[in-house]
């Protein structure tokens, strides 16, 4: 049953909230025994069911059980970020989005697993352990909203909520074969959402819904963009969901690209985009090639430098007095190097390993407030350059690859460079969504044998190994629109979903 059907039956009284919650609780217990995706059950949901019965206004999400990523503050429960020291600090109140969801009738019933610190796209930590991919237990479910991806894919939850600072909603969706949506950076309230790097402004973090179909994402966005949220957080622009844009049937001018010039697309990634392009053209849309500008330099010199502008100090503070998860050791070791050593090693490795050189150079941190302001200006200039190129080609929206298929567990922490397809749209702060469109074929696997990557370096070799043995795994595409055009992005996602129905399931 879809979320649309479930909400209709709940509103009509054909199903009761108690019956629905009990069903999902039972299913979630089965799923998490297998995949280890749930970190906390929220017993307050029973009390909430009682209060729902007493309300005259049921709300559009009346009686819908929902799951929440670990970093959503929920009163009386831990927001751990996978750090043992945070087990002493239960949240004092619900985050704004949870408050809004409750007002809209939703019933939060579980919290889900994440990678330690969330600055990683695997899904394990020293408290709760490793979450598994429902399609292949040797593969990662993605991260950092990996528990959500695994739970939603396995039908343990019908609607979940995660967050995204470099692909943290989109990776799990792509790896687990579900749908997710990252809005523009301030379309939804982030008050009470916990981060491991609070205060950085260069790369836009955002929260969003994750579900098994696009209609469910639309239901969630429509419910959240309400007066309750605008009153609880007056910094969020009071812009309700625009159904006219979402429901439009006019043909679109859609940009596309097969690879970004930084991380070479795997054969299945490339095929997913080209097949989707062909289907959209047959449906009457105009598809034009789009080349995003300077993706490699934007990844290292803008996104990575911005995230770690303090030299990684804030990020590393999370691990003081705590155990470092195995999947984070490469990152923590690299970021912990003294600035002078990073500079020296950057010069030494540059001839043979230019990407590692760029990582070392751009994780040293800025030396002054003046340099930080200059960096912020460079980020904004890049964003305006991107928008100008988009407008010069008259685009309504864009389709492009999303990393896939799912990487083998343990590899994401060694391949931070492979986030280029996703972090780009946090950097420029565009709404972006992901949905499955096909699965890996034996032909894709055969073509992977000749994959060398753009740089032909160690990371390209690691990526080839990480995505191998993926036959039958889901492959997704990413849909993108200009800032504040969430409805246009969701409209394209719905169109792609309709056109790829025959291709997207194993």
Domain shared by 352 and 462, yes or no:
no
| Residue 118 marked ligand-binding | yes
Contact of 336 with 312, CB cutoff 8 Å: yes
Domain shared by 226 and 136, yes or no:
yes
Determine, yes or no, domain membership for 277. yes
| Residue 304 marked ligand-binding | no
For 44, counting Cβ atoms within 10 Å of its Cβ (0-12 exposed, 13-18 middle, 19+ buried), the class is middle
Q: How many domains does the chain have?
A: 2
Residues designated catalytic: 69, 144, 168
Domain shared by 63 and 139, yes or no:
yes
What pLDDT is stored for residue 504 in this prediction? 59
What pLDDT is stored for residue 55 in this prediction? 87
What pLDDT is stored for residue 381 in this prediction? 98
What pLDDT is stored for residue 506 in this prediction? 45
Domain boundary among 383, 411, 438: 383
What pLDDT is stored for residue 53 in this prediction? 84
Domain shared by 29 and 158, yes or no:
yes
Determine, yes or no, domain membership for 483. yes
Domain shared by 43 and 164, yes or no:
yes
Q: 9: how many CB neighbours lie within 10 A of its CB? A: 16
For 461, counting Cβ atoms within 10 Å of its Cβ (0-12 exposed, 13-18 middle, 19+ buried), the class is middle
Domain shared by 136 and 251, yes or no:
yes
| Residue 166 marked ligand-binding | yes
Determine, yes or no, domain membership for 505. no
Sign of the dihedral defined by the CA atoms of residues 29, 34, 37, 39, in that order: positive
Domain shared by 356 and 281, yes or no:
no
| Residue 165 marked ligand-binding | yes
What pLDDT is stored for residue 454 in this prediction? 96
The token pair at 243 is: 């159904």
Determine, yes or no, domain membership for 504. no
Question: The domain spanning residue 184 has which CATH number?
Answer: 3.90.1300.10
Domain shared by 62 and 176, yes or no:
yes
Kindly give the parts of the chain with pLDDT less than 50.
506
Domain shared by 192 and 317, yes or no:
no
Domain shared by 401 and 487, yes or no:
yes
Pick the closest to residue 477 from 464, 488, 493 (CA basis): 493
Domain shared by 257 and 114, yes or no:
yes
Domain shared by 203 and 326, yes or no:
no
Domain boundary among 333, 349, 383: 383
| Residue 145 marked ligand-binding | no
| Residue 168 marked ligand-binding | yes
Determine, yes or no, domain membership for 412. yes
Domain that holds residue 19: 3-294+384-499
Determine, yes or no, domain membership for 175. yes
Determine, yes or no, domain membership for 41. yes
DSSP 414: G
pLDDT digits (tens, 9 = 90+) for 164-220: 999 999 999 999 999 999 999 999 999 999 999 999 999 999 999 999 999 999 999
Contacts of residue 320, defined as CB under 8 A and 6 or more positions apart, other chains included, come to none
Determine, yes or no, domain membership for 506. no
Domain boundary among 383, 418, 447: 383
Contacts of residue 280, defined as CB under 8 A and 6 or more positions apart, other chains included, come to 254, 287, 399, 495, 496, 499
């Amino acid at each position: 049953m879809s979320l649309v059907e479930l909400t209709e039956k709940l509103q009509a009284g054909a199903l009761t909230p108690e019956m629905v919650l009990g069903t999902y609780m039972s299913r979630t217990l089965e799923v998490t025994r297998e995949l280890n995706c749930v970190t906390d059950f929220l017993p307050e949901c029973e009390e909430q069911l009682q209060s729902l019965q007493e309300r005259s206004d049921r709300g559009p999400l009346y009686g819908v059980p929902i799951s929440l990523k670990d970093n959503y503050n929920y009163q009386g429960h831990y927001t751990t970020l996978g750090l043992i020291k945070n087990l002493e600090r239960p949240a004092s109140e619900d985050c704004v989005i949870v408050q809004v969801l409750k007002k809209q009738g939703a019933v939060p019933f579980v919290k889900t697993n994440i990678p330690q610190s969330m600055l990683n796209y695997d899904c394990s930590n020293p408290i709760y352990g490793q979450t598994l991919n429902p399609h292949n237990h040797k593969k990662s479910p993605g991260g950092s909203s990996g528990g959500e991806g695994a739970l939603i894919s396995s039908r343990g939850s019908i609607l979940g909520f995660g967050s995204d600072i470099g692909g943290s909603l989109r990776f799990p969706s792509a790896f687990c074969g579900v749908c997710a949506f990252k809005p523009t950076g301030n379309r939804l309230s982030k008050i009470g959402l916990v981060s491991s790097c609070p205060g950085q402004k260069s790369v836009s973090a955002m929260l969003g819904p994750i579900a098994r179909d696009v209609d469910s994402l639309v239901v969630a966005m429509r419910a959240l963009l309400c007066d309750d949220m605008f009153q609880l957080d007056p910094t969020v622009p009071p812009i309700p969901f625009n159904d006219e844009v979402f429901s439009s049937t006019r043909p679109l001018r859609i940009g596309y690209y097969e690879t970004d010039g930084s991380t070479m697309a795997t054969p299945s990634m490339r095929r997913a985009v080209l097949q989707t392009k062909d289907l959209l053209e047959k449906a009457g849309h105009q598809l034009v090639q789009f080349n995003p500008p300077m993706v490699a330099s934007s990844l290292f010199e803008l996104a990575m430098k911005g995230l770690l502008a303090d030299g990684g100090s804030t990020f590393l503070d999370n691990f003081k007095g705590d155990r470092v998860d195995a999947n984070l050791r490469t990152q923590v070791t690299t970021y912990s190097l003294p600035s002078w050593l990073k500079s020296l090693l950057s010069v030494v490795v540059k001839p043979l390993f230019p990407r590692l050189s760029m990582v070392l150079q751009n994780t040293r941190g800025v030396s002054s407030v003046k340099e930080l302001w200059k960096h912020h200006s460079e980020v904004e200039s890049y964003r305006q350059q991107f928008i100008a190129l988009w407008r010069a080609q008259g685009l309504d929206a864009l389709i492009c690859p999303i990393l896939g298929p799912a990487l083998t567990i343990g590899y994401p922490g060694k391949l931070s460079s492979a986030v280029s397809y996703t972090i780009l749209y946090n950097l420029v702060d565009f709404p972006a969504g992901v949905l499955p469109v096909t699965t890996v074929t034996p032909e894709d696997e055969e073509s992977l044998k000749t994959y060398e990557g753009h740089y032909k370096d160690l990371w390209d070799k690691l990526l080839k190994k990480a995505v191998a043995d993926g036959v039958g795994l889901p492959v997704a595409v990413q849909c993108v629109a200009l800032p504040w055009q969430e409805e246009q992005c969701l409209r394209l996602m719905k169109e792609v979903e309709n056109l790829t129905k025959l291709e997207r399931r194993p």
